[in-house]
Amino acid sequence: MHFQHFIYTAILVFLLSTQNAVARFVDHPVHSSQWTDKYDRYFKKYSKRYFGPLFDWHWFKAQAIAESTLNNDAVSPVGARGVMQIMPSTFDDIIKKNPHFSQLDLPKWNIAAGIYYNRSIYRKIKNSSAQDKLYLTFASYNAGYGRIINASKRTGKKQKDWGEIKKYLPKETRGYVRRIRKLMGES
């Protein structure tokens, strides 16, 4: 009897501790009260600069949350750094056209570079609705533009539709775009 009680208690403690762990990782829409205004001024400024004043800058904040949970000290196993998880080699390419982006590790320039990089991808995508183009931009940011082109070719269609293309993308990339959409309150 004592042993059974111990097992039940251990299971209960385990379930309660995993429930709390899961609760910490629940995504809430960016517009919810769960998110702070951390770095908002940079997301607003550079979204406006590279995507225009009518673009919803929250998309890039959601992307940064998906990338690093807004942790500027984040470093991926492959070396991507900062809030937007930019590879140093990508940052080197970006500063060739934007020499005023001074340091990859400063949140301001990391966010500016990430949004600029999104814009360079976004401009390459043709034959797509604006919303699909945005999803494909995020997928390219995660998996590389070449993968998106190859997946698009596999659909056999000229129109680049996220719903069709995502079937041919890695599970990680589909999950990445899904997480950004969920953070924006989409299903």
Q: Name the active-site residue from 67, 164, 172, 186.
A: 67
Cα angle, residue 78 at apex, residues 22 and 68 outer, rounded to 5°:
40
Owner of token pair 């301001």: 108
List beta partners, residue 86. 81
Among this protein's residues, is 164 annotated catalytic? Answer: no
Per residue, the 3-state secondary structure of the chain, as one string, reads: CHHHHHHHHHHHHHHHHHHHHHHHCCCCCCCCCCCCCCCHHHHHHHHHHHHCCCCCCHHHHHHHHHHHCCCCCCECCCCCECCCCECHHHHHHHHHHCCCCCCCCCHHHHHHHHHHHHHHHHHHCCCCCHHHHHHHHHHHHHHCHHHHHHHHHHHCCCCCCHHHHHHHCCHHHHHHHHHHHHHCCCC
Q: Catalytic residue numbers?
A: 67
